Chains A and B, each alone.
Chain A
Amino acid sequence: MPLWDQEMPEVESISVGIVGSGGAGALTAGNLLLEAASLGGWHGLLTRTVGPQIRGGEAAALVRLATRPVECLLGRFDLLIGIDWLNANRFGGEIEVGPQSLVITDPSGGDLPNVVTLAGARTAEVPIKELAKAIPEGRPNMVALGLAAGLLSLSEDILRAVIEKRLAEKGQNAVKASDAGVQAGFAAATRLDLGMRLAAPEPPTVQRWLASGNEMTGLGAVRGGIRFAAAYPITPASEILEWLAPNLPKVGGVLFQAEDELAAINMIIGASFGGTPALTATSGPGLSLMTEALGLATAAEIPVVVVDVMRAGPSTGIPTKSEQADLNIAVYGLHGDAPHLVVAPQSIGDCLFTTQWAVHLAEALQAPAVVLSDQFVGQAVAAIDRPADLAFIGQRATAMPQVSSYKRYAVSTGGVSPMAIPGTYGGQYTADGLTHNERGTPTSNENDHRVQLDKRRTKLEQFSYGDHWATLEGDGEVAVIAWGSLTGAAREAIVQLRNSFGHIRLIAPRLLLPVQPERFIAALDGVKRTLVVEQSHGAQFYHYLRAQYDMTGDVRLLNRPGPLPIRPSEISQAIMQWSH
């Protein structure tokens, strides 16, 4: 450890960006850095920002390491390492540095991007490529990794173990070359000064996991009882499918690749009709194709779960970057009156809980559930505390063998009617998207239509969703209402303001449909000013809240389209400015 470390200010969070053109390995370096820091006991979060190209575009690993759990990035990077800057201007405002930031640049790596020169950041030249070239099979990204790890005073031994574990499949030569590259980076780091030091982490109290939101979604699905998945590849949802494909067979299930999203949704409806809890994962374009069949699942009362990992839209939009603009299609996108479930996870760990809960709700209510995840939380990787075990497992009311006439859609007080699974003697019925009577026989009778519409609405309205419907934290006369992956940024802003401003409430609904007006009013009780925060150009969440809930007092909006995430500092600023 360099001597001057002792005098450097100790901080609770440090943000590091590693940038390179696509294929340069910036993301690999970021992943290894996060894993090494996590093994050292720190919390951390890595998000990736990439262009649409597989090779030759731009890629950056944005890592935040901290002593406490991390759910969002801060606006400013303390350390930025450019393996090269060839396409770095394409990041625009996604990577921000300040005068105190240290930017490491390779003289052969191209001109510094505008964001760096305009900010007047401290720069240091390190010949990253040259150092890598001196090593047989050496790669510049490993030198960059060594630089970052050295400046953060991470353990060389832990880093070596991580490289051994992650790169073993590339062969011993690759491991050796990576080790050498990292050492070269460590050596170069001793001549540099980050100007701050990450405080020591608190010892973990529970098992620590390193996982992405998409992986947690997959695990949540399996925990909830999903045993059939069908899907069509799409960015940024494919990691859910790629995690489920090898893991579902281990628990007696299967993942099936469909020819398109139209097929995927119908395949899971077919599997669920046969009694197997079923799920698909997609993004906005796929959800658009699935909406017709979501209506079928609503009308025929077939439980299915559709995960939408939102990306910037409309149309193809920005496939690799995040936005919260599929709220409208998820809530309002079905034709006819089609009550269904919409839930949204709030963090990487919550992807597990919310997906598991969605399976539970869909199965219990025999209705489709849409899970609105997004690219940010889906593809971010974090060191998290192991999420608690939950008892939620899909439990569907099924019909016993019958001797007398079975009514699949019998009207009952709760609205849920026992579902006969094929193979059950005497339970034969035809599931139908046509308006049907209690037996399931098609009808165009006004009364049958209304009775079944009532039944499907009643079952969703009368269900007890418990406290999971929303995250409610804190008290005070000011409230921040956020949803999905912005919950973390809102929470961080509230913590930042605790000393200077006082107490602020956080209200983050996890259950977006059916709406919970009474609970919402109770959550807002005593609130005089409300800030709604969302990542949508059209303020979809704000309009949804206005339409569904009676919000009194002064209500303001902080919204922006993707891909630039709303930072905690912007939320706290909005609150501070308001008070003046």
Chain B
Amino acid sequence: MSILDTRPACNPGDFRSDVKPIWCPGCGDYHVLLSFTRAFAELGLRPENTVVISGIGCSSRIPAYTNCYGFHGVHGRSLALATGLKVSRPDLTVVVASGDGDGYSIGGNHFIQACRRNIDMTYVVMDNRVYGMTKGQPSPTTEPDFDTALSPGGTGIRPFHPLVIALASGANFVARAFSGQPNETASILVEAIRHPGFSFVEVLSPCVTFRPDEREWKNKVHPAPVAATTDPAKAARRIMTDDGFNIGILYRGDRRPYRAAIECSTVDPTELEQDFAL
């Protein structure tokens, strides 16, 4: 918000559009949407200066439910799209929304590269450990014995550990949240958006339709017992040894965010022709 902006601050409702979500009743993503709008209001953002970018999947429907600028792109490429936007428009607040299939499977490499680059944006992955929109197939975070029509008897494959991958790849802020706690999630998002560089927030967001067992998550989650560390090795050890339901900010780094090296004084394009003149 500009210091000359004399308009009253926005409230959470100002960030919500009139588009009705397509999510199933009881879906965790409703609460993530609530956390988004609360966090944006608390940060004093303006809808026109905030962009929510997503890929494909249930969680990726979120941009149109906000009153921000949004982009609902192709499957798995939200971080790439956001990177192009943020590098060319560093003035905007960019939040990327994804799910465990979109973000960790088809978009897995972009996740690693985005952590490496450390561009100032926030990446929120709503993890329900299943492909919901295509009706219940296993994702990279699905347990190996989860029985589905596509993988009878389970995949037998060890789940992906997104928080450790993020740390190892260079993310500057790592947190875990639970959609059933929208106030806590909003607070974590506020910190994530404020933190310079690439912030990664894994939100456990139950799919009550294909993973009714995830209703139990509300009884499993607990606040992280210790405060966030600035030591990535310590953070990695904690994350690798915790029970997967530690909620809170787990790592705050101090890597310098990426900035494009655009020259301050620019020349007229005709000056570039001198390269070619004989």
Q: A residues engaging B (CB < 8 A)?
A: 35, 38-39, 207-211, 215, 219, 222-223, 227-228, 230, 247, 249-254, 256, 258-260, 262-264, 266-276, 278, 292-293, 296, 300, 383, 386, 389, 420, 422-434, 440-442
Nearest residue (CB) in B for A384 is B276
- How far, in angstroms, from A339 to B207 measured CA to CA in the complex? 38
A424 and B48 in contact, given A249-B262, A274-B92 (Cβ under 8 angstroms): yes
- How far, in angstroms, from A429 to B91 measured CA to CA in the complex? 18
* CB <8 Å contact, A262 and B275: no
- How far, in angstroms, from A268 to B51 measured CA to CA in the complex? 16
Using Cβ atoms and an 8 Å threshold, which residues of chain A touch B180? none
- How far, in angstroms, from A207 to B269 measured CA to CA in the complex? 17
Using Cβ atoms and an 8 Å threshold, which residues of chain B touch A256? 83-84, 87, 260
Using Cβ atoms and an 8 Å threshold, which residues of chain A touch B67? 428
* B interface residues, how many (CB within 8 angstroms): 50
* CB <8 Å contact, A252 and B53: no
Using Cβ atoms and an 8 Å threshold, which residues of chain B touch A262? 76-77, 80, 110
- How far, in angstroms, from A227 to B88 measured CA to CA in the complex? 8
Nearest first, the 8 A-B pairs at minimum CB distance are: A270-B84, A430-B70, A267-B84, A266-B80, A263-B80, A270-B81, A270-B85, A271-B84
A228 and B48 in contact, given A250-B266, A251-B269, A269-B73 (Cβ under 8 angstroms): no
Q: In the complex, how many angstroms separate the beta carbon of A125 from the nearest chain B beta carbon?
A: 35
* CB <8 Å contact, A386 and B273: yes
Interface string of B109-125 (1 = CB under 8 A from A): 11001000000000000
B226 contacts partner chain A, Cβ-Cβ < 8 Å: no
Q: In the complex, how many angstroms separate the beta carbon of B75 from the nearest chain A beta carbon?
A: 8
Using Cβ atoms and an 8 Å threshold, which residues of chain B touch A300? 71, 73
Nearest residue (CB) in A for B20 is A441
* CB <8 Å contact, B260 and A267: no
Q: In the complex, how many angstroms separate the beta carbon of A281 from the nearest chain B beta carbon?
A: 15
- How far, in angstroms, from A278 to B88 measured CA to CA in the complex? 10
* CB <8 Å contact, B261 and A249: yes
- How far, in angstroms, from A300 to B72 measured CA to CA in the complex? 9
Nearest residue (CB) in B for A264 is B80
* CB <8 Å contact, A296 and B73: yes
A430 and B278 in contact, given A270-B53, A270-B85 (Cβ under 8 angstroms): no
* CB <8 Å contact, B276 and A215: yes
Q: In the complex, how many angstroms separate the beta carbon of B56 from the nearest chain A beta carbon?
A: 8
A-B contact pairs, 18 of them (CB 8 A): A207-B278, A208-B277, A230-B83, A249-B261, A250-B263, A251-B266, A254-B260, A266-B77, A267-B84, A267-B87, A270-B71, A292-B74, A293-B73, A423-B91, A430-B72, A431-B72, A433-B73, A442-B64
Interface string of B38-75 (1 = CB under 8 A from A): 00000000011101110000000001100111111110
Within 8 Å by CB of B267, from A209, A219, A250, A433, lies A250
Nearest residue (CB) in A for B278 is A208
Using Cβ atoms and an 8 Å threshold, which residues of chain B touch A425? 48
B227 contacts partner chain A, Cβ-Cβ < 8 Å: no
Using Cβ atoms and an 8 Å threshold, which residues of chain B touch A269? 73, 81, 84
A422 and B48 in contact, given A223-B269, A266-B74, A433-B73 (Cβ under 8 angstroms): yes
Within 8 Å by CB of A254, from B76, B77, B261, lies B261
Given contacts A253-B262, A262-B76, A428-B69, 7 further A-B contacts (CB under 8 A): A211-B276, A263-B110, A270-B86, A271-B89, A274-B84, A428-B47, A432-B64
- How far, in angstroms, from A281 to B277 measured CA to CA in the complex? 24
B272 contacts partner chain A, Cβ-Cβ < 8 Å: yes
Using Cβ atoms and an 8 Å threshold, which residues of chain A touch B109? 259-260
Using Cβ atoms and an 8 Å threshold, which residues of chain B touch A227? 88
Q: In the complex, how many angstroms separate the beta carbon of A431 from the nearest chain B beta carbon?
A: 5
Using Cβ atoms and an 8 Å threshold, which residues of chain A touch B277? 207-209, 386
* CB <8 Å contact, A263 and B83: yes
* CB <8 Å contact, A251 and B267: yes
- How far, in angstroms, from A430 to B61 measured CA to CA in the complex? 10
Which residues of B, 235-266, contact A by the 8 Å Cβ criterion?
A: 260-263, 266
Using Cβ atoms and an 8 Å threshold, which residues of chain B touch A254? 87-88, 260-262
* CB <8 Å contact, A209 and B69: no
- How far, in angstroms, from A292 to B81 measured CA to CA in the complex? 14
- How far, in angstroms, from A386 to B80 measured CA to CA in the complex? 37
B82 contacts partner chain A, Cβ-Cβ < 8 Å: yes
Nearest residue (CB) in A for B77 is A266
B3 contacts partner chain A, Cβ-Cβ < 8 Å: no
B149 contacts partner chain A, Cβ-Cβ < 8 Å: no
The winner among A250, A253, A386, A422 for most chain B CB atoms within 10 A is A422
A423 and B262 in contact, given A247-B272, A429-B69 (Cβ under 8 angstroms): no
* CB <8 Å contact, B82 and A431: no
Within 8 Å by CB of A422, from B49, B260, B272, lies B49
* CB <8 Å contact, A276 and B88: yes
* CB <8 Å contact, B82 and A270: yes
Using Cβ atoms and an 8 Å threshold, which residues of chain A touch B268? 251
- How far, in angstroms, from A415 to B82 measured CA to CA in the complex? 27
Using Cβ atoms and an 8 Å threshold, which residues of chain A touch B69? 420, 422, 427-430
Nearest residue (CB) in A for B91 is A423
- How far, in angstroms, from A272 to B81 measured CA to CA in the complex? 10
The winner among A211, A219, A292, A428 for most chain B CB atoms within 10 A is A428
Using Cβ atoms and an 8 Å threshold, which residues of chain B touch A263? 77, 80, 83, 110, 113
B19 contacts partner chain A, Cβ-Cβ < 8 Å: yes
* CB <8 Å contact, A222 and B85: no
- How far, in angstroms, from A425 to B5 measured CA to CA in the complex? 12
A296 and B74 in contact, given A254-B87, A274-B89 (Cβ under 8 angstroms): yes
A259 and B113 in contact, given A223-B269, A270-B82, A431-B71 (Cβ under 8 angstroms): yes
- How far, in angstroms, from A254 to B88 measured CA to CA in the complex? 8
- How far, in angstroms, from A73 to B267 measured CA to CA in the complex? 37
Within 8 Å by CB of A383, from B48, B71, B278, lies B278
Using Cβ atoms and an 8 Å threshold, which residues of chain B touch A253? 262
A39 and B49 in contact, given A263-B113, A422-B92, A423-B92 (Cβ under 8 angstroms): no
Using Cβ atoms and an 8 Å threshold, which residues of chain A touch B88? 227-228, 254, 270-271, 274, 276, 278
* CB <8 Å contact, A276 and B110: no
* CB <8 Å contact, B92 and A215: no
Within 8 Å by CB of B262, from A35, A219, A252, A389, lies A252
* CB <8 Å contact, B278 and A210: yes
Using Cβ atoms and an 8 Å threshold, which residues of chain B touch A266? 73-74, 77, 80-81, 84
Within 8 Å by CB of A222, from B64, B261, B272, lies B272
Nearest residue (CB) in A for B64 is A430
- How far, in angstroms, from A219 to B92 measured CA to CA in the complex? 29
* CB <8 Å contact, B81 and A267: yes
A441 and B73 in contact, given A208-B278, A263-B110 (Cβ under 8 angstroms): no
Q: In the complex, how many angstroms separate the beta carbon of B261 from the nearest chain A beta carbon?
A: 6
Using Cβ atoms and an 8 Å threshold, which residues of chain A touch B262? 249, 252-254
Q: In the complex, how many angstroms separate the beta carbon of A326 from the nearest chain B beta carbon?
A: 21
Nearest residue (CB) in A for B49 is A423
Within 8 Å by CB of B89, from A209, A215, A219, A275, lies A275
